[in-house]
Chains A and B, each alone.
With several copies, the nearest count.
Chain A
Amino acid sequence: MAEAINHDPRLAIEIAGIRFHNPVIGASGTFGYGLEFAELIDLNRLGGFATKGLSARPLSGNPPPRIVETHGGMLNAIGLQNIGARAFIKEKLPQLRGYDTQIIANVFGYSDDDYIEAISILNDGEGIVAYELNISCPNVKEGGIVIGNSPESAARLTEKARRASTRPLIVKLSPNVTDVTLVARAIADAGADCLSLINTIVGMSVDVNTRRPRLSYGTGGLSGPAIRPIAVRMVYEVARAVDVPLIGIGGIACASDALEFIIAGATAIQIGTANYYDPTVTMKVIDGLSAHCQSNGIEKLNSITKSILTE
C-alpha cells in the first residue's frame, strides 16, 4: 500500500460519491496509463488521472507526423492509439492498484456499440472509479460525425452508457459546437454524473514549403494555454446551464489557471499538455492551490467553485 501522505484537507473534493485528495487530475491522452509518471511524481499525492482513451479493441492510431507545436499550444492527431480495454485491465490495473489515486477510465469508440462494449469489458476492471466518455475526439470521425457535436446523439449514447456502466459516468464535452450548453444539458438530462470540458479544438497547420498539412491526418486537436480562455468561457456557460459537477480542462499550467476554472464553475480540473513540458506540473498546482487557500483564508477550496462575480 501507499505510504502515508499529508493531504491538505482543504483541497479534498467529492464527485458522484468519489473522494479525491484534491481537484487535480491528469487529463486523458496526456497521462498515458499513469505508470509513466511513477518515476516523476508521487502518484499518491495526485487527485486522480484519466487513462489514455480505451477502446474495446486495441487501435493503431494515425501515421506520423501526429503532433506539431503552434503558438501557445500544439495540434495532435494521435488517432486514439491504445492497448485496448482488456490489455489495460490485465497489464496496467494490477500495478496501478498499488497507488492511492483515483483512476478514471477514458472510453472511446466509433459507434455506440463500441462504447458499450468497452464499458462492459472495463466493468470487470477492479480499481477503476469512473468512466469518462470521450465523445469529442476530433481526430477519428468515422462517417464525418462527432457524436459529441450533437445534443441528440450525445444524449442517446449517454443513456446507453449509463445503463451499461456499473460506475459513475463523466461525459467529456466537445468545444467544437455553436452552443455548448445545449449539448451539456442534453447529456446531463440523459444521466451523466459529471461533465468534463473541454476536449481539443479542431485546427490545422500548413507547411508552406511542401504545401501539405503538418499532420498526416490533415487536421488535429488544438490544446495548451492558447485555448484556455475558450475553455474557461465554456465552463462558465455550462455551470449556469446544468446542475452536475464539472471538471475544467484546457491549457492549465499553474495554480492560478486552475483557479480560473474553479471560480468559473469547476469542481475539479484536469491538466493535459502542460504535463509534457513540465512533468511535475500536477504537484506544483496542488501546492499552489494549498498556498492560495492559505493566503486567502479558504477552508474548503470547493467553497469557491462558481464564486465568479458578474453583475
Chain B
Amino acid sequence: MMIETLATVESNRELAPGYRLLTVDFKQDVQVSPGQFAMLKAHASIEPLLRRALAVYGVQGSRRISFLYQVLGRGTEALAQVEKEASVEALLPLGNNWPVERAANQRAIVVAGGIGSASVLMLCKELAASSVDAQLFFGAASKNAATGCGLADLSALGLPLTLTTDDGSLGERGFVTAPLERHLREGAGAGATIYACGPWVMMKRVAEIAAQFEVRCLVSLEAPMGCGFGVCVGCVVAIKTDGPLGYDSYKRVCTEGSIFPAETIRWEVNAMTH
C-alpha cells in the first residue's frame, strides 16, 4: 500500500561535502523492502516542482526511514536546506525490490557505484543476516565520495568488502568493475546473483561482465522521474523484445523496475539518458 504523506524531518546531516543523510518520521507504520524508493520534496517548496526519487537507505523501527543522497542539482539542493522539524512531501514505497533467495549454496555479489550504495544497504543487511555467501564491491570517485556514500555503514555489516576509488585516495585505484571481473575470473560467479546499482556506465559494464561469465545479474536503474507511481510514462527504459522496438519495448523504471534482469535491458537505446 502506497503512503502519501507529510513526514517530519528528524535530521538532515552532511556525511561528507556534497552528501547527506536525511531521516524522517512517517508517524505511521511503513513496510519497505530492500531496493524500494520514495518520491520526496521539501514541503511547500515552489521550485523545482517535481519530487525526486531516493532509495530507502535504512529503516529504524517501523516509522523512521532514512535516505542517503548526493546534492547534485536543484531538487537535492532544496532538500539539503530542509531543517529538523520541517516537513517533506513523500510517497512510498515505490518500485520492486531486490529478490534474495536464501538457498544454502546461493552466493550474492553486490556491486555499488557511488550513491548507488543507497539502494543496496538494506539488501546487504539482509544478506549479512542470512546464510547467503555475500561479497560486496564498492566503488566511489574518491575517499570523500566513499565516506559520503555510506562506507562506514557498509563496512559495519562485516561482509567481505572490496573498495575502489577512481583517484586511488582510498582502497584500490580504478573502477569497481576491475576487481569484480578478477573475482569472477577466479570462478566465484558459480551459482551467484550479482546485484548492481550505480552509474549507468558502471551497470552496463557489470552487465557485460556478468554475461561473459554467465552469472545472473540484476540492476537497479535510474531514470528521470515525473511521478514515480506509473502515470507519466516518462521514466521508461528500453527492454529487449522479439523483433524491433514495439508496443512492449518500454518498461517504467518506477513501476516495473527499478530493478531489472541485466540481460533484458537494451543498453544502447537508453544510452542518451546517461
Contacts and interface: CB of A to CB of B under 8 A. Distances in A.
A interacts with B: yes
Interface of A: 29-32, 36-37, 39-40, 52, 57-61, 63-69, 71-74, 76, 78, 81, 83-84, 212, 216, 224-225, 273, 275-280
Given A64-B223, A65-B224, A36 B245 contact: no
Contact of B226 (A39, A40, A52, A276): A276
B199 to A, nearest CB: 15
Interface string B80-114: 00000000010100000000000000000000000
B254 to A, nearest CB: 11
A40 B47 contact: no
Given A60-B250, A63-B250, A277-B227, 19 more contacts: A36-B231, A39-B2, A52-B233, A60-B246, A60-B248, A63-B245, A64-B250, A64-B270, A64-B273, A67-B234, A71-B46, A74-B50, A76-B226, A78-B233, A81-B233, A273-B49, A273-B226, A279-B91, A279-B229
B230 A32 contact: yes
Most central of A37, A58, A60, A275 by chain B CB within 10 Å? A60
Given A225-B49, A276-B226, A64 B232 contact: no
| Chain B binding surface, main DSSP class | loop
Interface string B221-245: 0011011011111111110000001
Contact of B247 (A32, A58, A64): A58
Contacts of B248: 60
A40 B238 contact: no
Interface string B203-236: 0000000000000000000011011011111111
A61 B233 CA distance: 9
A139 to B, nearest CB: 12
A78 B238 contact: no
A37 B234 CA distance: 17
- Main SS at interface, chain A: loop
A273 to B, nearest CB: 7
Contacts of A81: 233, 236, 250
Given A63-B238, A84-B247, A276-B226, A224 B233 contact: no
Given A65-B224, A277-B51, A279-B4, A32 B231 contact: yes
Given A60-B246, A280-B4, A67 B232 contact: yes
Q: Which has the most chain B C-beta neighbours within 10 Å: A65, A72, A83?
A: A65
B269 interface: yes
B158 interface: no
Nearest to B39: A277
A74 B229 contact: no
Contacts of B246: 60
B4 A67 contact: no
Nearest to B41: A277
A69 B232 CA distance: 13
A60 B245 contact: yes
Contact of B89 (A32, A64, A278): A278
Contacts of A78: 232-234
A277 B49 contact: yes
A180 to B, nearest CB: 25
Nearest to B2: A39
B272 interface: yes
A76 B224 CA distance: 11
B234 A66 contact: yes
B49 A224 contact: yes
A33 to B, nearest CB: 9
B250 A36 contact: no
A63 B272 contact: yes
Nearest to B91: A279
Contacts of B41: 277
A188 to B, nearest CB: 31
